[in-house]
Structure 1
Amino acid sequence: MEVIEKAPAKINLNLDVLGKRDDGYHEMRMVMTSIDLADHLTFKPLEEDRIVLHSNSGFMPLDERNIVYKTALLVKERFNVTKGVDITIDKQIPIAAGLGGGSSDAAATLRGLNRLWNLGQSLEDLALLGAEIGSDVPYCVHGRTAHATGRGEKIELIEEIPQCWVVLVKPRKGISSWMIFENLNVESLQRYNTEEMLEAIKNHDYEQVAKHAGNALEQVSVEKQPAIKQIKEKMLQFGADAALMSGTGPTIYGLCKHSSRAHRVYNGLKGFCDEVYLVRTLK
């Protein structure tokens, strides 16, 4: 028996930072949606009590430092599972890109092991467990389009955004989230009205979704990596309806309503960027 789980990337349509909490995390309001760029994880049972990882990527550890390993270990301990698992990670989402690849892999591990070991947990149960692993994991357990609050772990599923094309550009140099949040001056950040984004999605209004896309952390990341601003400007020049950094970056995405425009943006950026992807939002 083997179980296969898809782990889609996510983009932040809206990201607002409200303040720093007593526990050291930041209070957030975000609107996120899944896109059709995904890792695939395959789970096979092992009789021996161990966790074995394989991957096509040479850029991540395959031991206890890996978030998939940590997640599998947490599940084994929480549910007293004495059997092992062999996990293969087909990595397609760029690493340290602001696209939630690690969190989505962790979420896929929760769903996959729930099926493999017949644990009988609901998605809500798995999302609660995922909050112990990382702030974005609860969202990734559910996927779809969601309004996230708290440190990102409180999830309200909402209507899907109008389906559109997404052009992604990952600059060569990554950015780690802790670098952005470590000395974050919340008072200096630009604010974004999440309610306007939620209203646009409720009304299935693509133009308003594009208009209200915003990321309060973008300027902070631009200061550490100016290429973000340059790529964003290029996206808009080539005709994207909106261009925005996802998460803490450094990946920039452009929204395009029409295929012809999306391909024009994609082809224009392929000329001077190595990692460029053309995908759609998930339905």
Structure 2
Amino acid sequence: MSAAQWFAAPAKINLALHVTGRRRDGYHRIETIAVFADIGDRIGISAAGVDSFHIEGPEASALAGEAPTQNLVVRARDLMRDVLNEHDIPAPPAAIVLDKQLPAGSGIGGGSADAAATLAGLMLHWQADAAAQAIRERAVSLGADVPMCLASRPLVASGAGEEIRPLSGMPSLALVLANPRRHVSTPAVFAALEKRDNPPLPADGMTGLRSAGDWAAWLSRNTRNDLQASSARLTPEIEDCLAALETTAPLLARMSGSGATCFGIYDDMNAARAAAKDLLHRRPDWWITATETGATP
């Protein structure tokens, strides 16, 4: 087996998430503003005589009872191979390693980011550029967040998550991510929604936001996470997490995705690191980290 080539699967943070309806295919219509952090899982890919899949890393134990065929990494590999077969592109056996750094089922796109990194990595490993468009079109079949994670840059997504508009002029944001070590089922959270036809994101207003303070104030006034209330009813520790973040004086505290990870936005990384240190001192049983998101010109 050759040496592995590693691909980043950065954490996705939903700064806002509006649920605006439900489609005939069962997917909910959403509108979300998403950014990507400088932390995440990693996918290692190398040539091999037979296909293999292995999970390692500090959060690997959370997936110990999962059948490999249920993991989005394996499903992404199999989808990729199906697409390449349709395009007569060889897809020989590969050894894939998932270095699991993010908590599972935590609302920051871990599994979807892993699938996206697998698709991007195998596209390079199998020299599959000719099938890139077909792969992007099929990615949503792995999950609504996968197309966003394939883009892996500040964006606004709509539809089920597959309609993506890049977000320009986005500054880097200093964040603290906090998870109370509770796995949240995304289907259960959507099922618990009391209202599914909520107002969409504002049509304008994002242009001209240049600082973390600008973004936090605009997000607070104009946006929300429509999944936060239903997720907190199912997992009350989310409210504890938000309350703990609020004690560190963030510019904004909110839940990401379907939870249970919550985030705080801070003026700079010094403030974020100090807040993370304070929270870890008080809640060593939680997963807490300071991180910075990518910017766009």
TM score, norm. by length of structure 2:
0.87
1:79 match: 84
Any conservation in 2 of the 1:167–1:277 contact (CA below 8 Å)? Answer: yes
Q: Confirm or deny: 8 A CA contact 1:30 1:194 kept in the other structure.
A: no
Give the letter aligned to residue 17 of structure 2.
L
Name the residue aligned to 2:21: 19
Q: Could you tell me how far 1:72 is from its partner in structure 2?
A: 0.4
1:68 to 73, 79, 86: 73
Instruction: Identify the residue that residue 109 of structure 1 maps to in structure 2.
Output: 118
Label 1:188 to 1:148 Cα distance change in 2 as closer, same or farther (>3 A). closer
Conservation of the 8 A alpha-carbon contact between 2:269 and 2:292: no
Q: Which residue of 2 aligns with 1:58?
A: 61
- 1:275 and 2:287 correspond: yes
RMSD: 2.1
Taking the aligned partners of 1:183 and 1:239, their CA distance within structure 2 comes to 30
Counterpart CA distance in 1 for 2:200 and 2:278 is 29
Which whole-Å CA distance do the structure 2 matches of 1:260 and 1:90 have between them? 28
CA distance in 2, matches of 1:208, 1:192: 20
Q: 5 Å matches for 1:89-168?
A: 89-121=98-130, 124-168=133-177
Q: Residue 70 of structure 2 aligns to which amino acid in structure 1?
A: R
The CA distance in 1 between the partners of 2:196 and 2:141, in whole Å, is: 28
Instruction: Tell me what 2:37 maps to.
Output: 35
Aligned-pair CA distance for 1:260? 3.4
1:201–1:227 distance in 2 versus 1, CA, 3 Å: farther
**Cα gap change, 1:74 to 1:227, in 2 (>3 Å):** same
Give the total of aligned pairs: 279
Per the alignment, do residues 47 and 18 of structure 1 end up closer, same or farther by CA in structure 2, a change over 3 Å counting? same
Question: Structure 1 pair 121/251, CA: closer, same or farther in 2 (3 Å)?
Answer: farther
TM superposition shift of 1:121: 4.3
Q: 1:38 to 1:14 in 2, by over 3 A?
A: same
| Partner deviation per Cα, 1:198-238 (whole Å, 9 max, x = no partner) | x3355324323112152111111111122212221221221
Q: Which runs of 5+ in 2 are unaligned?
A: none
| Alpha carbons 1:51, 1:69 under 8 Å: kept | no
1:234-249 matches, within 5 Å, as 234-249=244-259
Asked if the contact 1:14–1:194 (Cα under 8 Å) also holds between the matched residues in 2, the reply is no
Does the CA-based 8 Å contact 1:111-1:126 persist in structure 2? Answer: no
User: What's the counterpart of residue 257 of structure 1?
Assistant: 267
Which residue does 2:232 correspond to in 1?
222
After TM superposition, give the deviation of residue 11 of structure 1 in Å.
0.3
Task: State the shift of 1:149 in Å.
Answer: 0.4
Aligned partners of 2:131 and 2:215: how far apart in 1? 31
Contact (CA 8 Å) 2:14, 2:34: kept in 1 or not?
yes
Q: Which residue of 2 aligns with 1:204?
A: 210
Q: Greater CA deviation, 27-36 or 220-229?
A: 220-229
What are the Cα deviations for residues 60-109 of structure 1, in whole angstroms up to 9, with x where unaligned?
13621111011101111221245211001111111100000000000001
Paired AA for residue 203 in structure 2: E
The 3-state SS of whatever aligns with 1:127 is: helix
Contact 1:146–1:157 at 8 Å: present in 2 too? yes
Q: Quick one: distance in 2 between partners of 1:103 and 1:137?
A: 5
Secondary structure at 1:4 match in 2? strand
Structure 1 residue 23: Cα displacement: 1.4
Do the aligned residues in 1 keep the contact of 2:155 with 2:166 (CA within 8 Å)? yes
Q: Which amino acid aligns with 1:93?
A: L
Q: Contact 2:179 / 2:241 at 8 angstroms: preserved in 1?
A: no
Indicate the SS of the match to 2:141.
coil
